[in-house]
């Protein structure tokens, strides 16, 4: 009977792995695929916990306590919510689902074979979307969703906006670069990493997404720090080139396209006003917040002071998080990030060279870029990028317990 339950557990793990691969493939172009695959994976995981393992105990990870405290403050934020239904919906359909995705991954990814499957799937997705972006740039529309290229010939591939494409690129690109410059002991991954590094870097430049360019700099510095010798020279040159590109676009101006990337651009001024607006929201209820998932609901009440109509995100995920869950909710989230980097860096430092170490460095670098970009964009509140974050979070923590054969 025990052997039968083990066989069923292996079968369910395989089914969950298929769902996880589907999530990765679907993130750049299909919310439907994400929702179906994520829901199926979570239900299979719950079924396994209740009927195969017959235990509700979840795996102990470095992020368990920070996640628990963060969840506590999210729940406490409901006390202040003027839109309780909206907040409860956000708690169940966003926060709890994202946390579930994290634990599904950390309890499913157990071996180096599992890591290779997911890393391979990420590389397949990168290849597909990178080629799609190049196709869009030269033909005028992408071949997956038939989206036309954005104004000023800004590449966005299968994403609705160039900013979303830029956010996705800087999260997956460090993994490709890491596989290219670190000793993976597997030539196919190194070659694939080199190809994708060139392809996706080109896409990042052509997306003309200044926030993504800036956020990518910490990832490059991180990779330089973890890799020595010749690779440092290459990465430093890349860093200098990126800084010069950003500097010329934001400070020099000149021409219609460059003028939109100066510090006086309307979009930049608008973001500054949004920051002021969100700060006013925060200081009104600084401890517990206005309630999870309510920023958009209360936006217009505060936006009238800036003569803005409609609704908008804060375009600073940390400030928006503080508005909704209070300063303690934000601190709990930052505690989770600190725990992630502390545990991952300890694991990286004691590992020998190989694919698992290269993957862990790349994943951590991608999360660093993502988190930097989140200070300038809506990443944690956009479904595709929010799922990507929690997926990468779970995979990075999973790798810590995987031994390379």
Q: What would the pLDDT profile of 72-94 be if each residue is shown by its tens digit?
A: 999 999 999 999 999 999 999 99
Mean pLDDT, rounded, for 106-135: 96
Half-sphere exposure of 198 (CA within 13 A, CB side): 5
Query: Using 50, 70 and 90 to split pLDDT, how confident is the model at 127?
Result: very high
Percent over 90 (pLDDT), the chain? 67
pLDDT at 251: 46
Residue 290 buriedness (CB in 10 A; 0-12 / 13-18 / 19+) = buried
Q: How far apart are CA 235 and CA 199, in angstroms?
A: 16
Mean residue pLDDT of the chain comes to 88
Q: Is the pLDDT of residue 229 over 80?
A: no
- Which stretch of 110-119, 167-176, 244-253 has the lowest confidence by average pLDDT? 244-253
Q: Is the pLDDT of residue 284 over 90?
A: yes
Q: How far apart are CA 216 and CA 243, in angstroms?
A: 10
pLDDT at 290: 95
159, 142 contact by CB (below 8 A): no
Half-sphere exposure of 361 (CA within 13 A, CB side): 28
Q: Which of 123, 153, 124, 126 is nearest to 141 (CA)?
A: 153
Mean pLDDT, rounded, for 100-110: 96
pTM of this structure: 0.92
Secondary-structure percent of the chain, ordered helix, strand, coil, rounded to 5 = 75, 0, 25
Query: Using 50, 70 and 90 to split pLDDT, how confident is the model at 253?
Result: very low
SS3 225: helix
SS3 150: strand
Q: What is the dihedral of CA 366, 372, 378, 383, to 10 degrees?
A: 20
Mean pLDDT, rounded, for 236-258: 56
Backbone angles phi, psi at 108, to 5 degrees: -100, -40
Domain ranges of the chain: 2-399
Q: Is the pLDDT of residue 309 over 60?
A: no
Mean pLDDT, rounded, for 21-27: 98
Mean pLDDT, rounded, for 281-309: 84
pLDDT at 381: 95
Contacts from 108-113 at CB under 8 Å and sequence distance 24+? 108/13, 108/16, 108/17, 108/20, 108/45, 108/398, 109/394, 109/395, 109/398, 109/399, 109/402, 110/398, 110/401, 110/402, 111/402, 112/355, 112/356, 112/402, 112/403, 112/404, 112/405
């Amino acid at each position: 009977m025990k052997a039968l339950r083990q066989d069923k557990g292996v079968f369910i793990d395989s089914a969950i792995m298929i769902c996880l691969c589907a999530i990765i493939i679907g993130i750049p172009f299909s919310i439907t695929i994400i929702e179906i695959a994520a829901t199926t994976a979570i239900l299979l995981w719950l079924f396994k916990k209740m009927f195969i393992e017959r235990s509700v105990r979840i795996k102990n990870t470095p992020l368990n306590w920070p996640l628990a405290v963060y969840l506590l403050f999210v729940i406490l934020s409901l006390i202040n919510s003027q839109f309780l239904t909206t907040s409860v919906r956000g708690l169940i359909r966003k926060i709890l689902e994202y946390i579930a995705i994290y634990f599904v991954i950390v309890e499913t990814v157990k071996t180096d074979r599992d890591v290779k499957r997911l890393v391979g799937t990420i590389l397949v997705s990168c290849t597909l979307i990178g080629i799609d972006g190049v196709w869009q740039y030269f033909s005028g529309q992408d071949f997956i969703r038939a989206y036309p290229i954005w104004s000023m010939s800004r590449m966005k591939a299968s994403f609705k906006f160039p900013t979303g494409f830029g956010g996705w690129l800087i999260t997956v690109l460090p993994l490709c670069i890491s596989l290219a410059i670190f000793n993976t002991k597997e030539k196919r991954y190194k070659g694939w990493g080199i190809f994708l590094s060139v392809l996706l870097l080109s896409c990042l430049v052509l997306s003309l997404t200044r926030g993504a360019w800036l956020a990518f700099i910490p990832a490059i510095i991180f990779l330089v720090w973890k890799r020595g010798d010749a690779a440092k020279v290459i990465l430093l040159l890349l860093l200098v080139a990126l800084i010069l590109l950003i500097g010329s676009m934001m400070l020099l101006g000149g021409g219609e396209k460059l003028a939109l990337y100066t510090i006086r651009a309307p979009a930049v001024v608008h973001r500054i006003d949004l920051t002021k607006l969100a700060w006013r929201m925060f200081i009104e209820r600084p401890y517990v917040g206005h309630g999870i998932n309510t920023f958009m609901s209360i936006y217009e009440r505060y936006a009238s002071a800036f003569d803005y109509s409609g609704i908008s995100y804060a375009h600073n995920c940390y400030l928006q998080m503080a508005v909704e869950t209070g300063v303690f909710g934000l601190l709990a989230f930052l505690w989770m990030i600190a725990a992630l980097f502390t545990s991952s860096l300890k694991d990286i430092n004691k590992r020998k060279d190989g694919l698992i170490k290269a993957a862990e460095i790349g994943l951590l670098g991608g999360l660093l870029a993502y988190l930097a970009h989140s200070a300038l964009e809506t990443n944690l509140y956009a479904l595709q990028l929010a799922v990507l974050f929690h997926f990468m979070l779970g995979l990075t923590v999973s790798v810590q317990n995987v031994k390379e054969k």
